[in-house]
């Protein structure tokens, strides 16, 4: 997913956006049809910006306000002599209110409108294939669950045609509040969303089907003053998080930036601990120690000679290392054997701030939940399902609810991995982190993330800030890496290598030479 410059940090549910829409109409006195016209102009403006010579346009219209937007977009195109026609997937005779007004405007402008009921399957496919751009104005925020017929068949035909799609407000079939796609969903190249940015565009299936997202508020900030609609999440990007790090003074030393202890790597999984330790190094930690199986020590020293590596056989050997650490990362590759259980037990009993990942979470899922405040939990959907006793499908059906529920039961900060990373802190709205790419779908990426979180916990005053910043940096480094390498074959170590490039603006403000007289 690509994110436009006009991103809104506040993310809203479908209910919140509807409340905002009603507030603008009922309390601010803005005519509903004027809002529809503004939405259509904004969407058409973005269409022309992204496709300056769009070619023939095919606008697929539903029955509600989303369909009305579509008819008005078609009218705007017709005024500029862009070839355009509409398909009324919902019969035009059933239109009411502002959608009916929009239909009449389009017809008055001379826009051809075909009734879907009059088209054969082959005729619809032919119309789609010859289109230069398809505008999806089928289903809006008022629809949840799997699209019914004929919408499901139309969505399949749109996706099969392979024509660029502009989605009006959100891709049809996507749940605006959760990002879930219970059935067919339009795969858009560009989504223009209005009034309030919908949380479902940024998590779950949203990043895979929305393409580039552009937020158009349609009204001024002053007109929203007193609006009852409240955000349900906050969107964060690395460019904002970068400013959370204080400048490093010229007399900085390693003791000021945290000592991270990585406890990881049972037999057969030594690379997990090595990657977490290397990521902590690249993320600016002052000191890094690695506690792992003795047979992994040589490999760790070759790969990361700066890391103080210790081979441990029993959990009791971990105690002195824990005493010296500021932050502990535990879980990558520790397994579920007695060795891993001993290590986790010592980490928890130490009371040190900690990041718990991978098998540490799987071991926790077998124990009674004891809410604690000093940990960051980083489950992927499978681990989250085990923590909550649910299925992965149930986790993905509402990722925000899942993250909040894990946080409620286990305490601390919870980072739910997956497209549209969700972070629940127990205070305020959850965060969704922008960025990432398909190249990250490979083993070891989570180990890298846990190392970055540990490093940032040693440099920022709050675990919640460290987790948000680490997730954002992780995604930004991965996006940086694919610029050169592409998605296929991207490795966790490529992301580690990209971290300094992403972090470089958090370094020393003035180099020593800049202080000399010239």
pLDDT (mean) for 135-163: 96
What is the pLDDT of the chain when averaged over all its residues? 94
Which tops the pLDDT comparison, 395 or 247? 395
Q: Which residues contact 481 (CB under 8 A, 6 or more apart)?
A: 439, 490, 494, 495, 497, 498
Strands 287-292 and 308-311: parallel
- Among 208, 166, 209, smallest CA distance to 191 is for 166
What pLDDT, on the 0 to 100 scale, is given for residue 518? 42
Q: Looking at the predicted structure, is the pLDDT value of residue 5 above 50?
A: no
What pLDDT, on the 0 to 100 scale, is given for residue 8? 62
| pLDDT tens column, 176-212 | 999 999 999 999 999 999 999 999 999 999 999 999 9
512 pLDDT tier (thresholds 50, 70, 90):
low
Which H/E stretch holds residue 261?
Answer: strand 259-263
What pLDDT, on the 0 to 100 scale, is given for residue 493? 98
Which H/E stretch holds residue 238?
Answer: helix 238-241
* Residue 33 to residue 20: CA distance in whole angstroms: 15
Q: Looking at the predicted structure, is the pLDDT value of residue 65 above 70?
A: yes
What pLDDT, on the 0 to 100 scale, is given for residue 6? 44
What pLDDT, on the 0 to 100 scale, is given for residue 274? 98
Strands 113-115 and 308-311: unpaired
User: Looking up tokens 């085990």, which residue turns up?
Assistant: 386
> Percentage of residues in the chain with pLDDT exceeding 70?
95
> Percentage of residues in the chain with pLDDT exceeding 90?
89
Q: Looking at the predicted structure, is the pLDDT value of residue 53 above 60?
A: yes
282 pLDDT tier (thresholds 50, 70, 90):
very high
448 pLDDT tier (thresholds 50, 70, 90):
very high
Q: What is the DSSP string of 158-206?
A: HHHHT--EEEESS-TT--TTT---SS-----SEEEEESSEEGGGSSTTH
What pLDDT, on the 0 to 100 scale, is given for residue 517? 43
pLDDT (mean) for 319-332: 98
Length of the chain, in residues: 518
Residue 398 and residue 200 in contact, taking contact as beta carbons nearer than 8 Å? no
* Residue 317 to residue 298: CA distance in whole angstroms: 19
DSSP annotation of 150: T
Residue 290 and residue 264 in contact, taking contact as beta carbons nearer than 8 Å? yes
Which tops the pLDDT comparison, 246 or 170? 170
- Reading phi first (left if > 0) and then psi (alpha if -120 to 50, else beta), residue 169 is in left
Residue 352 and residue 322 in contact, taking contact as beta carbons nearer than 8 Å? yes
pLDDT (mean) for 225-241: 91
């Amino acid at each position: 997913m690509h994110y436009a410059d006009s991103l809104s940090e506040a993310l809203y549910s479908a209910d919140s956006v509807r409340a905002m829409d009603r507030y603008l109409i009922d309390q601010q006195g803005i005519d509903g049809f004027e809002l529809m016209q503004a939405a259509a102009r904004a969407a058409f403006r973005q269409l022309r910006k992204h496709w300056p010579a769009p070619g023939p346009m095919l606008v697929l219209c539903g029955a509600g306000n989303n369909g009305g937007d579509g008819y008005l977009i078609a009218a705007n195109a017709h005024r500029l002599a862009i070839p355009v026609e509409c398909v009324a997937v919902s019969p035009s005779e059933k239109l009411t209110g502002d959608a009916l007004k929009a239909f009449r405007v389009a017809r008055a402008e001379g826009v051809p409108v075909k009734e879907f009921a009059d088209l054969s399957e082959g005729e619809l496919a032919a119309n789609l294939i010859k289109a230069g751009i398809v505008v999806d104005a089928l289903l809006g925020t008022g629809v949840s669950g799997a699209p019914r017929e004929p919408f499901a068949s139309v969505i399949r035909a749109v996706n099969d045609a392979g024509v660029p799609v502009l989605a009006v407000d959100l891709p049809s079939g996507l749940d605006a509040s959760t990002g879930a796609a219970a059935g067919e969903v339009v795969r858009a190249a560009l989504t223009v969303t209005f009034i309030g940015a919908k949380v479902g565009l940024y998590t779950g299936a949203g990043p895979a089907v929305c393409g580039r997202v552009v937020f158009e508020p349609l009204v001024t900030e002053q007109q929203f003053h007193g609006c009852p609609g409240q955000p349900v999440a906050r969107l964060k990007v690395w460019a904002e998080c970068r400013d959370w790090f204080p400048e490093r003074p010229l007399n900085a030393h390693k003791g000021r930036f945290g000592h991270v202890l990585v406890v990881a790597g049972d037999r057969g999984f030594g690379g997990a601990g090595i990657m977490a330790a290397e990521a902590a190094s690249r993320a600016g930690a002052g000191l890094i120690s690695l506690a792992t199986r003795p047979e992994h020590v040589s490999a760790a020293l070759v790969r990361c000679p700066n890391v103080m590596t210790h081979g441990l056989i029993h959990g009791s050997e971990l105690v002195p290392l824990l005493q010296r650490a500021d932050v502990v990362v535990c879980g990558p590759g520790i397994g579920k054997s007695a060795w891993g259980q001993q290590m986790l037990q010592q980490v928890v009993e130490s009371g040190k701030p900690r990041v718990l990942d991978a098998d540490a979470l799987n071991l926790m899922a077998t124990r009674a939940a004891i809410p604690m405040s000093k940990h960051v939990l980083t489950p992927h959907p499978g681990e989250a399902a085990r923590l909550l006793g649910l299925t992965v499908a149930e986790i993905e059906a509402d990722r925000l609810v899942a993250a909040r529920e894990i946080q409620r039961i286990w305490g601390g900060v919870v980072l739910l991995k997956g497209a549209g990373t969700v972070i629940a802190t127990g205070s305020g709205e959850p965060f969704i982190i922008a960025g990432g790419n398909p190249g990250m779908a490979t083993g070891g990426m989570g180990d890298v993330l846990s190392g970055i979180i540990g490093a940032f916990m040693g440099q920022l005053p709050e675990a919640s800030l460290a987790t948000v910043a680490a997730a954002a940096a992780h995604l930004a480094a991965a996006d940086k890496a694919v610029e050169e390498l592409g998605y296929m074959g991207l490795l966790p170590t490529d992301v580690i290598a990209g971290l300094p490039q992403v972090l470089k603006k958090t370094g020393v403000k003035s180099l020593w030479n800049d202080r000399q007289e010239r």
